[in-house]
Structure 1
Amino acid sequence: MSRQASGLKAWLVQRVTALYLAVFSIYLLVHFLVAPPADYGAWRAWVAQPLVSLGLLVTVPVLLAHAWVGLRDILMDYVKSLGLRVGLLSAAAFVFLAAGLWALRSIILVGLQG
């Protein structure tokens, strides 16, 4: 794949993920303004609803992809040392992977326990 196609793919990923995150964030904002959960049990019951769980499960990889492309572009533009850039990208990949797995596990556990 050429550099142009790779750049176009990154640009498209940023736009599509930003659109999803904006729409889902508006949904969350409206929901919590209109019907905030009264306690932890109400919050768990809300998260356990199938459509909410699905939305949250989709949000995690979408958010991580959005963050990865943005951080990767920043590091590629501003960190000139290849070794430092690879090290920073590797550290970011590890943190994103760990955070993503933890978030997905949490959502799945709440969904299963209802």
Structure 2
Amino acid sequence: MSRQASGLMAWLIQRTTAVYLALFLGYLLLHFTFNAPADHAALLAWVNQAPVAIGLLLCVPLLLAHAWVGIRDVLIDYVHALGLRIGLMMLFGFVFIASGLWVFKAIVTAGLRGYA
């Protein structure tokens, strides 16, 4: 287990990522409520705007960091068998890394299609 995200650092990671996620997801909610794209091409054009693409690319690792610290804390607090805890942490770590790579690929692919 990493000591890089324990105690005050874990608390700080949780709070700062939560603030960004709340603001960005609030922006997404407002945007899609009042200015929903008419079709897939309009959605791609919106995603290809630099501020939106940067916001999405920043949102993914922050969401994964937020989820990792939360899951890690729950596993440390409630799973007492060390082998099971390490196995579950490895499983969640693999799922988070795979999810992050998949989302990053989807965002980059959407951006490249917009320029083709």
The normalised TM-score by structure 1 is 0.94
Q: Which moved more, 1:58-67 or 1:36-45?
A: 36-45
Aligned to 1:70: 70
- What RMSD over aligned residues (CA atoms) do the two structures have, in Å? 1.2
Q: How many residues align?
A: 111
Amino acid at match of 1:38: A
Q: Which runs of 5+ in 1 are unaligned?
A: none
Sequence identity percentage:
59
Once residues 44 and 86 of structure 2 are traced to their aligned partners in structure 1, the CA distance between those partners, rounded to angstroms, is 39
Aligned partner of residue 80 in structure 2, secondary structure: coil
Deviation at 1:45, TM superposition (A): 1.0
Deviation at 1:44, TM superposition (A): 1.0
Greater helix proportion: 1
Amino acid at match of 2:72: R
Once residues 25 and 104 of structure 1 are traced to their aligned partners in structure 2, the CA distance between those partners, rounded to angstroms, is 17
Aligned to 1:45: 45
The normalised TM-score by structure 2 is 0.92
Which digits, 9 at most, give the CA deviation of each residue in 1:56-87, with x for residues without a partner?
A: 00000000000000000000000000000000
Once residues 20 and 112 of structure 1 are traced to their aligned partners in structure 2, the CA distance between those partners, rounded to angstroms, is 26
